[in-house]
Amino acid sequence: MLKRILTFFSKDKSSSDLFIEKGSDTTLDSVRIDVRKPKADFKNLIVGNNSLISGSYFFELEGAQVQIGNDTSVGTSSFVCSKKITIGSHVMISWGCTIMDTDAHSLVFEERKNDVRDWKRSFDEGVLGKYKDWSNVISKEIIIKDKAWIGFNVIILKGVTIGEGAIVASGSVVTKDVPNFTLVGGNPARIIKSVE
């Protein structure tokens, strides 16, 4: 049985890790990878060519995956993935963002009442997430299309699609899809105007 994988890459280290695939001329700078339930011979983080990638990537379930395209920049942001997060090419994601494709807990108390106890038990045993019950947790893929720009400290929640060339203003909370070539902002994010 595979154990939890926790790795850290700075620009001085190679990404020969079994759970990462990166394209040519891509740099991983201060990247933290936390694979809670590894799947043999599976790439949890796939990055295209000529990208600069930072941040923390938490993979909660077996088969969870973040895919990042070409010529994309990701600052020191956090990604919590239990299903899939897809980021296109020519995308800029600033620092301090949180992108999360899951609620992480059930909305019903009776279904989540043991979460803290289960989390503590797995933490004490050194196998984070081992006892977590995901059967009642809602997760939906996030898609960030080509040419999008995500400002600093943005939160993007499960099931959201950010359209091509869209811009999300700093500090926004995105709970619904963002149309192509649109500037959105606020909490919750609302359309401000179209952009060329």
Residue 93 in this model has a pLDDT that exceeds 60: yes
Residue 196 in this model has a pLDDT that exceeds 90: no
Average pLDDT over residues 48-74: 96
Q: Is 105 a catalytic residue?
A: yes
Residue 50 in this model has a pLDDT that exceeds 70: yes
pLDDT of residue 1: 40
> Looking at 2-16, 81-95, 135-149, 176-190, which range is the least confident one?
2-16
Region of 111 on the Ramachandran plot (φ > 0 left; ψ -120 to 50 alpha; else beta): alpha
Count helices and strands in the chain by DSSP H and E runs: 2, 19
| Catalytic residue (one of 36, 105, 132, 147) | 105
Sign of CA dihedral 54, 56, 62, 64: negative
pLDDT of residue 122: 87
- Name the strands in the sheet holding 45-47, side by side, starting at the edge strand that comes first in the sequence: 20-22, 45-47, 65-68, 84-87, 142-144, 161-162
Q: Tokens 């289960």 belong to which residue? A: 118
Residue 9 in this model has a pLDDT that exceeds 60: no
Residue 98 in this model has a pLDDT that exceeds 90: yes
Domain range annotation of the chain:
5-102+139-194
Average pLDDT over residues 49-63: 95
DSSP conformation class of 102? B
CA of 100: how far to CAs of 40, 66, 143, 157, in Å? 24, 11, 11, 5
pLDDT of residue 148: 98
Euclidean distance between CA atoms 85 and 100, whole angstroms: 8
Mean pLDDT of the chain: 91
Average pLDDT over residues 11-23: 67
Q: What stretch of H or E contains 117?
A: helix 115-124
Total length of the chain:
196
Q: What is the pTM of this model?
A: 0.91
pLDDT of residue 130: 84
- The topology under which CATH files domain 5-102+139-194 is UDP N-Acetylglucosamine Acyltransferase; domain 1 (2.160.10)
